[in-house]
Chain A
Amino acid sequence: MKRTALSLLKQIKNNLILGQRLYLIALQDSFIFRLNFLFLRLRNIFFLLSITFLWLSLYQDGSDLFGYSKEKMLTYIIFVALLKGIVLGTKTNDLAPTIKNGELTFRYLIRPWNIAWVWFCQDWAAKSIDLFFLLPEVFFIAFIVGFSIWLPHSLLTWLIFIILVFLAVIFNFLFRFIISLSGFWWEEVWAPNWLFGIVLLEIFSGVFFPLDILPSLWQKVIYWTPFPYLLFFPVKFLLGQVSSPYSVILILLIWIFLAAIVMQNLWRRGLKTYSAFGG
């Protein structure tokens, strides 16, 4: 019994060391093309500027819009921009080409690694870079535009918010991993990634606008998908507009459970169809 516990502890320790190393390598990889990296940051700024000024001009007369005051709408935009980096930032897009070009064999399959853990650690590199640069970018825009951000004071609210974000991070990882597994069967892995990982994920998670401005039938349809629970509901909760955060947590847990099952199944089936040619 003692021996099993010790070996388990050792395994956890090894995984943590592996995770740390993978995280650092992924971090270094991101800075290989520095100029390109700078341009990527600029892209975020342009997007944020565009959305911010759109809402600012809509709020010129000062009255509320769709139940949002100007302050709350701008807080929504700022927090969605921040959460977009933390929740949606990922490196799992690289998994599909790795499967397609056969690198999966010698980079992952022959090593005693848990593949999901490897990509999860690399994901965190993408997320931490995004967060590190997004914070000053977002507050810089808030400063030049000159608006104040609405923040809740309750510690419990922040605690629940962190739980929601953490669950959203896990779901996003599983979901993007599942999309990348399409590389086992599809030649054109960019297509599902573009439709599900960019278009549907970004629009239905509320990156461009709060989903509750849409007609109620559209909202009902969108709420049946997992996407609104990644950004829209966590930020709405922070704004004090979600009465029952526990139902959001429960829905997220169900989606995580389902995604984990699908991921495991697809991974097993994918490995059965997988073949790579050496050279």
Chain B
Amino acid sequence: MKRIIRAWWQVTKMALIGQILTTGGWYLFIIGKIIRFILFFAFLYLVVQQRQSLAGYSPVKVIWFYLVFNLLDIATQTLFRGTYWFRRLLIQGDFDLDLIKPLPSFFRPVFGWPDILDFVTFIPLIIFMTLFALFHQLIPSFSALFSFLFLFINSLFLAFAFHLMVASICILSEQNIQLTWIYRDLTAMGRFPTDIYPRSIRLMLTFIVPTILLITFPAQAALGLLPFPSVFIATLATIIAVMGALKFWSWALRRYTSASS
């Protein structure tokens, strides 16, 4: 574990150096992220303020869902960006070089390219969320805060499982599959409280890409609205998903054939 963390820290430093070397784009990226965040924030606040509630949630609580979505989105983008580049590694045949390294085989495909640009917005968001929660007294108790933190980490593991599955599919298929974008679109449906969707869509958001487990549960837990059995269900689902993803990865890896010449 220590070795993996050390390797991750090393690739993170390298990613940071790479992004500092080419400084041309980072400020446009950050500006874009801030504009999008502010305008969507304003939009949500304005529309829900008019009605005073959305699916039974007050405007402040609706914003809270949006903030939790952003927090998880940034965290997963920072950590698991490698999946987006994995196909290139495969078709160039360079994955062979990673397989001979004394690291887990999934390290490079999932953790290989941490996105530091995304991380830049992570800290300000946490500060803003803390102030927002304190100002509006959103988190009713320590147990709610603890449940939120626990489920947030749980969501990271669940997101890891999904990204690992995507990497496995990349090995199995020659198609340029944009499954990570499907994942992102489905999780983006969680930027609003998922209670606005009909039952059929909620089922899809629970079992296909578990947006409800990923975003809605942590957000509800912080507000003290999530019953304990749901925490248990989320944990169990994550354990099953991670184990399933690891098994699927091993199975896919056995079918891997090098593309190098």
Judge whether A159 is part of the interface by a CB distance below 8 angstroms: no
Closest to A35 in B: B175
Judge whether A94 is part of the interface by a CB distance below 8 angstroms: no
Determine if A33 and B43 form an interchain contact, defined as CB atoms under 8 angstroms apart: no
Give A209 to B182 CA distance when docked, in angstroms.
22
Closest CB-CB distance, A246 to chain B, in whole Å?
Answer: 29
With contact pairs A35-B177, A186-B25, A195-B28 given, residues A66 and B192 touching in the complex (Cβ less than 8 Å): no
Determine if A53 and B198 form an interchain contact, defined as CB atoms under 8 angstroms apart: yes
Residues of B close to A251: CB separation below 8 A: none
Determine if A57 and B175 form an interchain contact, defined as CB atoms under 8 angstroms apart: no
Judge whether B232 is part of the interface by a CB distance below 8 angstroms: no
Judge whether A46 is part of the interface by a CB distance below 8 angstroms: yes
Closest CB-CB distance, B159 to chain A, in whole Å?
Answer: 17
Closest to B23 in A: A188
Closest CB-CB distance, A198 to chain B, in whole Å?
Answer: 8
With contact pairs A53-B201, A54-B192, A186-B24 given, residues A203 and B51 touching in the complex (Cβ less than 8 Å): no
Determine if B54 and A58 form an interchain contact, defined as CB atoms under 8 angstroms apart: yes
Determine if A209 and B47 form an interchain contact, defined as CB atoms under 8 angstroms apart: yes
Judge whether B150 is part of the interface by a CB distance below 8 angstroms: no
Residues of A close to B207: CB separation below 8 A: none
With contact pairs A43-B182, A49-B189 given, residues A57 and B176 touching in the complex (Cβ less than 8 Å): no
Give A36 to B177 CA distance when docked, in angstroms.
5
Determine if A40 and B31 form an interchain contact, defined as CB atoms under 8 angstroms apart: no
Judge whether A42 is part of the interface by a CB distance below 8 angstroms: yes
Determine if A36 and B175 form an interchain contact, defined as CB atoms under 8 angstroms apart: yes
Determine if B189 and A50 form an interchain contact, defined as CB atoms under 8 angstroms apart: yes
Interface residues on A, range: 35 or more
Judge whether A266 is part of the interface by a CB distance below 8 angstroms: no
The one of A43, A46, A47, A188 that contacts B22, using a Cβ cutoff of 8 Å: A188
Closest CB-CB distance, B28 to chain A, in whole Å?
Answer: 4
Chain B stretch 178-228: residues in CB contact (< 8 A) with chain A: 178-179, 181-182, 185-186, 188-189, 192, 196-198, 201
Closest to B21 in A: A187
Judge whether A16 is part of the interface by a CB distance below 8 angstroms: no
Judge whether A113 is part of the interface by a CB distance below 8 angstroms: no
Judge whether B39 is part of the interface by a CB distance below 8 angstroms: yes
Determine if A57 and B54 form an interchain contact, defined as CB atoms under 8 angstroms apart: yes
Give A56 to B179 CA distance when docked, in angstroms.
28
Determine if A190 and B25 form an interchain contact, defined as CB atoms under 8 angstroms apart: yes
Give A49 to B186 CA distance when docked, in angstroms.
10
Determine if A65 and B51 form an interchain contact, defined as CB atoms under 8 angstroms apart: yes
0/1 interface trace, chain B 12-37, chain A, CB 8 Å (1 if under) = 00000000001011101101110110
With contact pairs A49-B201, A54-B192, A58-B51 given, residues A191 and B46 touching in the complex (Cβ less than 8 Å): no
With contact pairs A53-B196, A58-B51, A188-B25 given, residues A194 and B182 touching in the complex (Cβ less than 8 Å): no
Give A36 to B180 CA distance when docked, in angstroms.
11
Closest to A46 in B: B185
Chain A stretch 127-152: residues in CB contact (< 8 A) with chain B: none
Residues of A close to B189: CB separation below 8 A: 46, 49-50
0/1 interface trace, chain A 192-220, chain B, CB 8 Å (1 if under) = 10110011100100001100011000100
Determine if B54 and A43 form an interchain contact, defined as CB atoms under 8 angstroms apart: no
Determine if B28 and A35 form an interchain contact, defined as CB atoms under 8 angstroms apart: no
Give A35 to B201 CA distance when docked, in angstroms.
22
Give A213 to B47 CA distance when docked, in angstroms.
8
Residues of B close to A198: CB separation below 8 A: 32
Determine if B43 and A40 form an interchain contact, defined as CB atoms under 8 angstroms apart: no
User: Which 9 residue pairs spanning A and B have beta carbons closest together?
Assistant: A191-B25, A188-B25, A195-B32, A199-B32, A57-B196, A191-B28, A46-B185, A195-B28, A50-B189
B residues with a Cβ closer than 8 A to A are: 22, 24-26, 28-29, 31-33, 35-36, 39-40, 42-43, 46-48, 50-51, 54-55, 173, 175-179, 181-182, 185-186, 188-189, 192, 196-198, 201
Given contacts A199-B32, A213-B43, 6 further A-B contacts (CB under 8 A): A33-B175, A36-B175, A46-B185, A47-B185, A54-B54, A54-B192
